[in-house]
Structure 1
Amino acid sequence: MAPTATPGPDGDGTDEALWLSADEKDAWTGLASLVLLLPGRLETPLQQVAGLTLFDYLTLSHMSEAPDRRLRMSELAYLANGSLSRLSNVVKRFEQRGWVERFPDPVDRRYTIAALTDAGYDVVVAAAPAHVRSVRRYVLDPLTPADRRALMRIAAKLKVRPVDLTQETTGPQ
């Protein structure tokens, strides 16, 4: 579609909207398809193997890779691509299962540290093979090395930091 001005609410043309070109529309609908359909394909094996959502797995996985298996909650929310409130609910559930412990950051007590327990580590290790298989099947295997490099560049440009973490520069989370 060629960019076109549309009349505003008063019909005077002051509220212009530009339509997407054919290439822009294809790029957008392709991205929307990935955003809406891919998470389900990646989550289904995790649900079957370990009863985890994709967000659950990403949370545990990032903790398992951190030094001493510990991260500030705000950093963990960023890495897992979720809000602090969503992460807090998930970590509370993990605490109840004995997978995670939380405590004040000894360096700056205004922050909270989430630490993965041995039981939590066992959960992520058990779920990892199913996750890696689905990531390879649905994401990596269909792409050439050049496609993967392009995807990394695009993902870096489109990376969104959760809104409630943008305040971290002005105060603790």
Structure 2
Amino acid sequence: MRSLAADFPSREISFNEYDVMFNLSREPNRRIRLRDLNGHVLLTQPSVSRLVDRLALRGYVAKLTDPTDGRGAIIELTDVGYELFRRVAVQHMGTITDRIGDALSTEELTQLTTLCDRLRGEP
């Protein structure tokens, strides 16, 4: 992870900001409750809150009041944020591909994906 972060290809967003945007991009309507987002990233809750605030100031995410809990927040990846995420994702995938190369076969990559999904608690 340190190596990938060191070679992260964007000057517009940081590796951690990309991670938040990646997780938002995978959610229905590209939105998630802030407290649920905390479970998807390797940052402390206060760090995630500050990072989200920075992304919101730049227009990459919107921070909305949770209609079911006025104390909570829903974070939504904006169209501008999604376009930036997609552009950076293509570059980042190139970096990952350069590192991994042909070390794993397609079958092994499929198996690795299945195992990672299981570790994350996904079916």
TM-score (norm 2): 0.76
- The two structures, once aligned, show a CA RMSD in angstroms of 2.6
State the Cα deviation string for residues 24-53 of structure 1 (Å, max 9, x = none). Answer: xxxxxxxxxxxxxxx23322443x434332
Out of 68, 72, 80, the residue aligned to residue 111 of structure 1 is: 72
Find the partner of 2:56 among 82, 92, 95. 95
- Give unmatched runs, 5+ long, in structure 2: none
Separation in 2 of the partners of 1:156 and 1:82? Answer: 21
Question: How far is the alpha carbon of 1:60 from its aligned partner?
Answer: 0.7
Contact residue 50 and residue 123 of structure 1 kept, 8 A: no
- SS of 1:49's equivalent in the other structure is coil
Query: Which segments of structure 1 move beyond 6 Å, counting only runs of 4 or more?
Result: none
Structure 2: distance between partners of 1:60 and 1:150 = 23
What one-letter code is carried by the residue in structure 2 that aligns with 1:102? K
Corresponding residue of 1:32: none
In the alignment, is residue 132 of structure 1 matched against residue 115 of structure 2? no
Between the two proteins, what is the percent identity of the paired residues? 24
Separation in structure 2 between the aligned mates of residue 93 and residue 61 of structure 1, nearest angstrom: 16
Of structures 1 and 2, the one with the larger relative CO (CA 8 A, separation 6+) is: 2
Give a deviation string over 1:35-87, Cα, whole Å, max 9, x none: xxxx23322443x4343322111101111221111111122122223221111
Residue 42 in structure 1 maps to residue 4 in structure 2: yes
Q: Radius of gyration: which is bigger?
A: 1
Shift of the alpha carbon at 1:143? 2.4
Q: TM-score, normalised by structure 1?
A: 0.57
Aligned counterparts of 2:26 and 2:79: Cα–Cα separation in 1: 13
Aligned length: 119
